[in-house]
A and B are shown apart, each in its own frame.
Chain A
Amino acid sequence: MNWGGAAEFFAMGGHGAFVWGSYAVSALCIALEAWLVARRNRRARAA
């Protein structure tokens, strides 16, 4: 275990904005892509 607590975990040694900024945008991109593909399938079936 690397962390002394939640605050330390989210701080990432002072680089929290960079680490969490990377992961948050990546997660958003993946969620957006999955949503767009699901919508495209719904529309293709409905048309």
Chain B
Amino acid sequence: MFSNFFSFASPQAFYPVAGRMIPWFGWSAALLALAGLYIGFFVAPTDATQGESYRIIFIHVPAAWMSMFIYLVMALWAGLGLVLNTRLSGMMASALAPTGAMFTFVALWSGALWGKPTWGTYWVWDARLTSELILLFLYLGYMALKEAIEDPQRADRAGAILALVGVVNIPIIYFSVQWWNTLHQGASVSLTKAPSMAMTMLAGMLVMALAAWMYAIAVSLARVRAIILERERGRDMAWVRSMVNA
């Protein structure tokens, strides 16, 4: 019953579609980032307690959101591949991992540079920071595991199990500031309460988050295209040639 739908989502059908989508997401990312940085540096006011160092928020919070969100999407694709045995799923999961790791590193790095002027230290082993560091190791472990297994289908299955077990870390990161007494501040923005910050600060942060989102889509689509070519080479050389020469 699902066979038609899934044959449409085959790697070979997806390759040219992804190629057409990349410029749209890439340019949206660039324009949104310019707008977000303008709001963040020229419109949003100086913070009453933190002065100018708070402006790190415009990269820190979007990167931290993306680090968690990409992990969930990656685990979803990995789980779909495990259950439905669709080939594109494992490729999508592989394509998302490096981008998730990059955003996790950016969140940790910008957090450290924000921590020094506000808390007096680059790093503490509190629940929020430690669970975010574990997220970085989960991404790196996932990538290393998939690299280490030669057969792509076995690599997808093993990676999927690791990715799904690691999902437990996401609510731990998100709720850590409520569950434990952390040096990291609580959420300034949540779905249930009015945000505890100036409207222009919030606007800058949301536009930057949207830019990060567009960038993540563009770069993972580009990466999945490379992965499709690499993997189809072993299966359907005629198709690969037709795509490369097109």
- State the A residues within 8 Å of B (CB): 1-3, 9, 12-15, 18-19, 21-23, 25-26, 29-30, 33-34, 36-38, 40-41, 43-45, 47
A15-B223 contact given A22-B59, A44-B229, CB 8 Å threshold: no
Please, which residues of chain A bring their CB within 8 A of the CB of B56? Answer: 18-19, 22
- In the complex, the answer to whether A21 meets B113 with C-beta atoms within 8 Å is yes
0/1 per residue, B36-79, Cβ < 8 Å to A?
Answer: 00000110111000011101100110010000000000000000
Pull 24 A–B residue pairs with CB atoms less than 8 Å apart, ordered by A. Answer: A1-B42, A3-B42, A9-B41, A12-B55, A14-B52, A15-B52, A15-B117, A18-B53, A18-B114, A19-B53, A21-B113, A22-B60, A23-B59, A25-B110, A26-B63, A26-B110, A30-B102, A34-B219, A38-B222, A40-B226, A41-B226, A44-B225, A44-B230, A45-B244
**Interface centre among A12, A14, A37, A45, by most B CB within 10 Å?**
A37
CA gap between A20 and B230 in the complex, in Å: 38
CA gap between A47 and B230 in the complex, in Å: 9
Compute the total of residue contacts between A and B using a CB distance below 8 Å. Answer: 81
Q: Does B162 contact A (CB under 8 A)?
A: no
How far apart are A18's CB and chain B's nearest CB, in angstroms? Answer: 4
CA gap between A1 and B45 in the complex, in Å: 8
- In the complex, the answer to whether A29 meets B102 with C-beta atoms within 8 Å is yes
- In the complex, the answer to whether A13 meets B52 with C-beta atoms within 8 Å is yes
The contact size tier of chain B is 20 to 34
Please, which residues of chain B bring their CB within 8 A of the CB of A12? Answer: 52-53, 55
Q: Is the interface of B mostly helix, strand, loop or mixed?
A: helix
CA gap between A29 and B107 in the complex, in Å: 12
- State the B residues within 8 Å of A (CB): 41-42, 44-46, 51-53, 55-56, 59-60, 63, 98-99, 102, 105-106, 109-110, 113-114, 116-117, 215, 219, 222-223, 225-226, 229-230, 233, 244
**Interface centre among B46, B52, B110, by most A CB within 10 Å?**
B52
Q: Is the interface of A mostly helix, strand, loop or mixed?
A: helix
Q: Which B residue's beta carbon lies closest to that of A16?
A: B52
Select which of A1, A14, A37 is within 8 A of B226 by beta carbon. Answer: A37
- In the complex, the answer to whether A13 meets B225 with C-beta atoms within 8 Å is no
Please, which residues of chain B bring their CB within 8 A of the CB of A44? Answer: 225-226, 229-230, 233
CA gap between A15 and B102 in the complex, in Å: 24
Select which of A2, A9, A37 is within 8 A of B219 by beta carbon. Answer: A37
- In the complex, the answer to whether B106 meets A29 with C-beta atoms within 8 Å is yes
Please, which residues of chain B bring their CB within 8 A of the CB of A34? Answer: 219
CA gap between A22 and B116 in the complex, in Å: 12
